Chain A
Amino acid sequence: MAALDLEPDPDRRPLTIASTAERGAIRRRWFLTAPALLVLILAASGPLLIVLAYSFLKAGAYGGVVWEFSGEAWFKVVFQRDIFDGTMSYADAHLSILWRSIKLSFLTTILAVALGFPTAYFIATRPPRTRNLWMFLITIPFWTNLLIRTFAIMEVIRNEGIVNTVLMSLGIIDEPIQMMYTNFAIALGMVYVYLPLMVLPIYASMEKLDFRLVEAGYDLYATRIRVFTRVIIPLVKPGIVAGFILVFIPALGAYVTPRILGGGKNMMLGNLIELQFGQGRNWPLGAALSITLLAIVMIALIVYVRGTRRAAGDHG
């Protein structure tokens, strides 16, 4: 066994005098990064910890919290108690809202990829001078307030809106199609709002794409579709994944769009949370729901990181 110990271990650093100097360097590095760390702790972790703490407190009668430990909020995230006989059952309302949130966010993301990818491809294949103009056009919606943009969508799809008016005057339909206050309306609004967040990262990786690799694909007998699936998609995958995250996560917590376009019935998680902090006067439940949302996002991110690391490890 002793002989084995003599084998050089690449992971173990030999103990030398240098390690004292190294320790000094590490201490200095800590010192230099301290301000950034402080900001991170205060600005990001602090509020989160408060929210986490609130989720384990009792609700105050008129909002706020009573500083008394309680698991009630977490219980209510998943279960509900019958007011009369006290029997327990799943909190269908919460679960269906959660499910709708995930479903709609996912749908939104898929649609955003479907629309954003060709858009990014189109822009990336323009001559360099016109590319900036196209990117500029993509960012124009950002100049307008989110509320106004959402009301604009409403103007288009409501019963007396542009789409229905045109279709009716053309005689294609007899009565307006109900689009407002449906899941469709929410998805449409979110795709519209989040599309630039999909286009930007895909365009960024598409622009870096070495077009000579595409030519190499054609040269080696790959048809256009094959070049697309075997060369372009794998090479811009980081951009697609980034776009996926940038759209899926805010969509999951979306609040304004579902509120306006989905109405009171088609709530999403963001509206539910807002409800608890507002009219519901149940801050702990709101906090618990917020943490739930955060957990879903974290799980999604971990799955993603694992996935990409494995993909990178293939050839690594």
Chain B
Amino acid sequence: MRDGGGTTKGIAVRGVSKVFDAAAAAVRALDDVSVTIHENEFFTLLGPSGCGKTTLLRLIAGFESPSAGEILLDGAPLAHLPPFRRPVNTVFQNYALFPHMSVMENVAFGLEMLGKPKREIEKTVNDMLRLVRMEELRDRATNKISGGQQQRVALARALAPRPKVLLLDEPLSALDLKLRKEMQIELKRLQKDTGITFVFVTHDQEEALTMSDRVAVMSQGKILQVGSPREIYEHPAKRFVADFIGETNYLEAEIVASGHGQAQIRLSSGAQIAASLPEGGRLTGKVTVVVRPEHASLTLDAAKATFSGRLENIVYFGTDTHYHVRLADGSLFTVRMQNARGHEETDRINAEVGVILAENAAQVLRD
């Protein structure tokens, strides 16, 4: 068991709640959150604004203390440690660079506070500035560099003391698309090179999927699902997760038989298909099933179809095309198919078409 023993490497968050006593009403920013973040992992917290991502980071960093529960680092409780005794550094949402210090002084700050010898500080600072490609601007004031450069300085400053854990709070949100893509790659490279555990916060699903080893999807102070990007995308356990990441079709169904994480379900059209079951979900009765649009295709051969409907709309997207099919129960089902060359589209709007689901395309939701 990974969470069980006290010797687990990495961060263990156990039953943590955080209640802010704001003036009038109490805000429950985190609600009984438990999660384990492994050593050397690129772990992402993904969720909409206000779901508690920053709060969780602040608890790990030690700027706030939990109302309930505890956080362990490498098996040791962090509760009694003030932020300056935790081997954890933060890249703040707004960078929080010291305006009265130069780029170099900012990067050196943590090392100085740790009382490292001058020689070592100088060397590490140089290495860090090279790593983030900021050597030329080392003597600049931090308010006289661009947003992207500030972000890189913030990164270098947080990495310089070689923390065990680096917390990054939406560090890329202020950057334009191109720089953002570049920094995504650079961040991933840095994480691999340094072997430091990254806890990365974003509300950009694409960013989360492309960069992370594992993703935790959060909503309203709770972690809804933790898993690899593929798991999260292909096997969402909850409607919110499915909705938040990518496009989704929902089908009502009934479980006919189940076992070993798999189930036989009957759709409202009468067709019976295999579907994956979520962990801890129900094993009988009515359920909602999600199907990603790209896991379905269209056919004119009624015999092959899982179910059928009326083709209502065709939207061309360049690399692929979306087909909106109105099903018998009135719901809309989207099919996404890649555009191949020589595959000429005939206008079949309003025609009766069949939908084929790929194998393992259906995922039963827990809620």
Contact = CB atoms under 8 A, between A and B. Distances in A.
A17 B367 CA distance: 76
A220 B141 CA distance: 19
Interface string A275-316: 000000000000000000000000000000000000000011
B181 to A, nearest CB: 27
Interface stretch (B11-19, B97-105, B243-251): B97-105
A219 B98 contact: no
Given A235-B99, A315-B141, A220 B161 contact: yes
B157 A220 contact: yes
Contacts of A219: 61, 63, 83-84, 88-90, 158
B141 A212 contact: no
Contacts of A220: 84, 89, 109-110, 113, 157-158, 161
A221 to B, nearest CB: 4
B141 A316 contact: yes
Where chain A touches its partner, the secondary structure class is: helix
B84 A212 contact: no
A222 B96 contact: no
A213 interface: yes
A210 B98 CA distance: 10
Nearest to A219: B90
B92 A222 contact: no
A129 B24 CA distance: 13
A221 B102 contact: no
B114 interface: yes
Contacts of A210: 96
Contact of A215 (B63, B110, B140): B63
A231 B158 CA distance: 16
B94 interface: yes
B84 A234 contact: no
A129 B23 CA distance: 10
Given A226-B113, A234-B100, A235-B99, A218 B84 contact: yes
B141 A218 contact: no
B82 interface: yes
Contacts of B63: 215, 218-219
Nearest to B101: A315
Nearest to A216: B96
A153 B110 CA distance: 48
A45 interface: no
A227 to B, nearest CB: 8
Interface string B53-66: 00000000111000
B65 to A, nearest CB: 13
Nearest to A227: B84
B167 to A, nearest CB: 9
Interface in B255-292: none
A316 B96 CA distance: 19
B92 A212 contact: yes
Contacts of A316: 141
A220 B107 CA distance: 10
Given A212-B94, A216-B90, A216-B92, A223 B84 contact: yes
A221 B113 contact: yes
Nearest to B87: A221
Contacts of B85: 221
A226 B109 CA distance: 11
Interface in A116-155: 129
Contacts of B23: 129
A213 B97 CA distance: 7
A235 B100 contact: yes
Contacts of B82: 218
8 contacts: A212-B96, A213-B96, A217-B109, A218-B63, A218-B83, A221-B161, A222-B113, A315-B140
Given A215-B92, A218-B83, A316-B141, 18 more contacts: A129-B23, A212-B94, A213-B96, A213-B99, A215-B83, A216-B90, A219-B61, A219-B89, A220-B84, A220-B89, A220-B113, A221-B113, A221-B114, A222-B84, A222-B109, A223-B84, A235-B100, A315-B100
